[in-house]
Amino acid sequence: MAISNGKEVFVKGRVVTSKRQSLPKARNNSLSNILAAIRRYSVSSIADVQVRITTGESQVEVPTDQDGVFECLIDYCKEERVQVELVGKEDYQAVPVQKSITRLGGKHGLISDIDDTILISHATEIGKKFWLSISKNAYTRRPFPGVSEFYHNLKVEGAYEVFYVSSSDWSLFDLIEDFLEYRNIPKGPILLKDKHINLKNIWKSGGGSHHHKSEKIRFLLSFFPEMNFVLMGDSGQHDPEIYAEIKREFPDRIRAVFIREVRSKSTNLPERDQMKDSLGFHFVKNTEEAIEIAQSLKLFQK
């Protein structure tokens, strides 16, 4: 991933062993999807290698961490691409990779969760979530009704840049990209959980601490200082608490917060009432309700 605010380029990626993965198809059965999931999670991260990032006349070198993840900021030289290559590791037959730089600007941005916000995942039910994650693919996973319309209204009518911040792991990056394209949901930078998931701990995918979400949202607020944001999440994985923390810290930068209710038990909690009253949160049962509220708040206007 390479995104720019017009001054710098933020580059992030993960170095892994190569994998062979056929393109998913809508007609694939569960067995085909399970085999694809096994291949996806069979790759190994390559830790402690130097990665050289080059764009125009700017160049930096950074190491990968224990999960094979690297990231850096590099001066924006009005180039359209960055080149990423391994340095000084002759035992790896690595080919340099070029990525397009996505320059983003404007006044408004949408930061959206993925699981149970746009993608039906049953994240609060481990068994259902695990089965969906291995038995379905990008074309057979289902979105919530109305999400494509809602996000396109924000992007086209309201000129919102779209960002995705999720607790899904990096192994699902290609699946999420394909899902967004197939379901006609606006694409945007995807910031996922850095911790590497493999076949031994595949059942932990999407679980654990969600603290990284607040870190990534803070990064976006810092990297795009002139942009105000709408936050979209769900009530199943601590999004309300994370977004409340962000809203209190950046009260003038958050235009609205929408939380999709996925747990009926959480609808009457006192802390949720406080979020509604003091922070202006909007807890919604479906996308149609969110669209009506967005229209009343004039979010679809530039």
**Predicted local confidence at residue 266, as pLDDT:** 56
> At 90, which amino acid appears?
E
> At 157, which amino acid appears?
E
Per residue in 165-203, pLDDT (tens digit) is 998 888 888 889 999 999 999 999 999 987 766 555 554
Tell me the C-alpha distance between 224 and 231, whole Å: 15
Structure tokens at 195: 């911790």
Q: What is the mean pLDDT of residues 16-41?
A: 76
Please tell me the pTM assigned to this model. Answer: 0.89
Tell me the C-alpha distance between 93 and 89, whole Å: 8
Maximum average pLDDT range among 42-46, 175-179, 220-224, 274-278: 220-224
Identify whether the C-beta of residue 12 lies closer than 8 Å to the C-beta of residue 82.
no
**pLDDT confidence of 136, banded at 50, 70, 90?**
confident
**Predicted local confidence at residue 227, as pLDDT:** 97
Assess whether pLDDT exceeds 90 at residue 130. no
**pLDDT confidence of 211, banded at 50, 70, 90?**
confident
Tell me the C-alpha distance between 300 and 302, whole Å: 7
**pLDDT confidence of 262, banded at 50, 70, 90?**
confident
**Predicted local confidence at residue 112, as pLDDT:** 97
Q: What share of the chain is helix, strand, coil (3-state, %, to 5)?
A: 30, 30, 40
Lowest mean pLDDT among 79-88, 185-194, 253-262, 263-272: 263-272
Per residue in 40-59, pLDDT (tens digit) is 777 888 889 999 999 999 99
Q: What is the mean pLDDT of residues 93-117?
A: 92
Question: What residues does 1 pair with on adjacent strands?
Answer: none
* DSSP notation for 144-182: PTTHHHHHHIIIIIS-EEEEEEEEEEGGGHHHHHHHHHH
Per residue in 141-171, pLDDT (tens digit) is 999 999 999 999 999 999 999 999 998 888 8
**Predicted local confidence at residue 39, as pLDDT:** 78
Question: What residues does 53 pair with on adjacent strands?
Answer: 60, 84
Lowest mean pLDDT among 10-14, 125-129, 208-212, 255-259: 208-212
**Burial call 107-121: b when 16+ CB within 10 Å, e when fewer:** ebbbbbbbbbbbbbb
Question: What residues does 19 pair with on adjacent strands?
Answer: none
Question: What residues does 55 pair with on adjacent strands?
Answer: 58
Phi, psi (deg, nearest 5) at residue 107: -95, -25
Sign of CA dihedral 273, 235, 229, 147: negative
Tell me the C-alpha distance between 160 and 232, whole Å: 13
